[in-house]
Structure 1
Amino acid sequence: MSSILFSPLQIKSITIKNRIAISPMCQYSAINGFANDWHLVHLGSRATGGAGLIIQEATAVSAEGRISPGDLGLWKDEQIEKMQHINRFIIGQNAVPGIQLAHAGRKASSSAPWEGGKKIDSAHGGWETVAPSAIGFHDNETPVALDKTGIQKVISDFKSAARRSVEAGFQVMEIHAAHGYLLHEFMSPLSNLRTDEYGGSFENRIRMMLEVLEAVQSEWPKELPLFVRISATDWADGGWNIDESVQLSKILKEKGVDLIDVSSGGAVPYQKIALGPNYQVPFAERIKKETGILTGAVGLITEAAQAEEILTSGKADLVLFARESLRNPNLGLTFAKELDTDVQWPKQYDRAKIR
């Protein structure tokens, strides 16, 4: 029996050779937003390792939108060239290069995880953070509430970064509206206490997301796939929930989004997540079944048979791997062997293929 995990997925003009995608994972290794050889090796090795779609880490649309000083960025044209180099290599391995555009909002100006992941103040190279409302992620932090001018700047920054993404040769775009970063902050009533047209009702809280989407679409080619990553639930009372995620996904589908990358959490530090294998897959399944949009499943998916079952049972259309792909850059090659599926190896490695 042929494997669904290793069947192609056609989205608009792009064919992804299999259903294995590498999730965008911050490497905290950029210098002033510029990619370097670490990113070439990190992303390129997963392309040689057999994944069909390689999504570059959360890439900041502005300097102040970075999670950390080590985040990648596309806020100026000079940052394009190295990404072009990386994308050419990925395409040369018969994989598809994607990018996730992001703004960290109130979770910006933090140190790398191996440096504690703590907020960096201005005296140590940090910067002023912004959010829908002046509510910090932690009690001792207070971001600046965005005014209308600030909101328009963020939207413009996404638009400009989308243009640069096209120039850099990316073939899939993902807008990051999850994990407690800026667009998710607008969507969640736990972080958005605004009383203007960007706060209060569901329609108002998703307004920023939709305006960013429209700005990105004005630059992103219509024939290329467009994803949105959401947190399906805040895992906290009174927060964003799966019912709202279904409602938003219907709207996004109507507006031309091709796939919802379904994650969860990140809005508040007091979330209570029920961790376990496939713990986020039911959210992807419900969104897919109730809206008809393509979905991507994530979250403690570590085995080939596990991923295969998600697809064969119709719970999702794509499986995104994060930490498991850090442990094993050759997921595509390894999983093909486990599922008794023959795939093409890089010719430089073919003599090691087990036949």
Structure 2
Amino acid sequence: MRAIVLRETGGPEVLRLEEVPPPVPGPGEVLVRTEAVGVSYYETPLRAGVFPFPAPLPAVFGFEAAGTVTEVGEGADAALLGRRVTVMKLGGTGGTYAEYVAAGADALTLVPAGVSAADAVATAVQGAVALTLLRAAALEDGQTVLIEVAGGGVGGYLTQLVRGFGAGRVLATAGSEVKRRRARDLGADLVLDHTDPSWPDQVREAGGTVDVVFEAIGGASARRLLDAMTPGGGRMMFYGLLDGPPEVTPVDLLHRGLTLAGCGGLAAWGRHVQDARAEVLDMVADGRLRPQVDSVLPLADAATAHRRIEERAAIGKIVLVP
């Protein structure tokens, strides 16, 4: 089968298309013929070697896909044969940038009728992250929220869903005019340019205070936002590292009465995200959630997809088709 193999970490050019043996499903696993492969921002530092790859190299790259179950391993549910599923591999070798991928039952979510493979893979993980963030934020009716990077995947789903969780005023940021238009189209009341160094000051100047920040940028701007947050109850839901870890100390939070919640990890948080995947796919099926697909490219163009992500040009999910 054809697959994108990572033999060494480095720039996008290290993602190379090769012929490799197809995987064999082990006990409790199924074999999925991939129809759409999701490319995500978090994969780029793994490829670059900024974060250690979770398996020895060489390895078939990738962690998200959608397709059809073609083979069932020993002990796996035979009823899965022929079913359309999404695959979300947490850790391990990954292996989704390929024509076939083997996965355990806990990595699968059934795709509802009428939802395309591209829409399914674009929504299953990022939409589930957004839904899990909203539940963790415990919004109260009428509260003001700030959604960073709202023109992207998770941010776009947050912007679509947040009013259903009680949000009143919705502020957002995006890094280009095209992305700012997208954020407004998805429901944001005011969209700021987070490439402008003064944007945290503009949040304060917008009037009122912010009750919940969905923090995806980090860095120095996170600390500068604290004075714009509601004293005694404001909370920052930290889940992204666009500019590095948020430069916020316990003392910064203590004298303002604010909370910084770290939303991530492959244990409890990963389980919550897995549990939310079926729900967001149902939302796509019945029209309550709009999939955020940037572009659909051939599998051989994986390096191009990574470059587009690193240039911050993507608006939503880039999907590879084997």
Give me the TM-score of the superposition, normalised by structure 2. Answer: 0.30
Give me the TM-score of the superposition, normalised by structure 1. Answer: 0.28
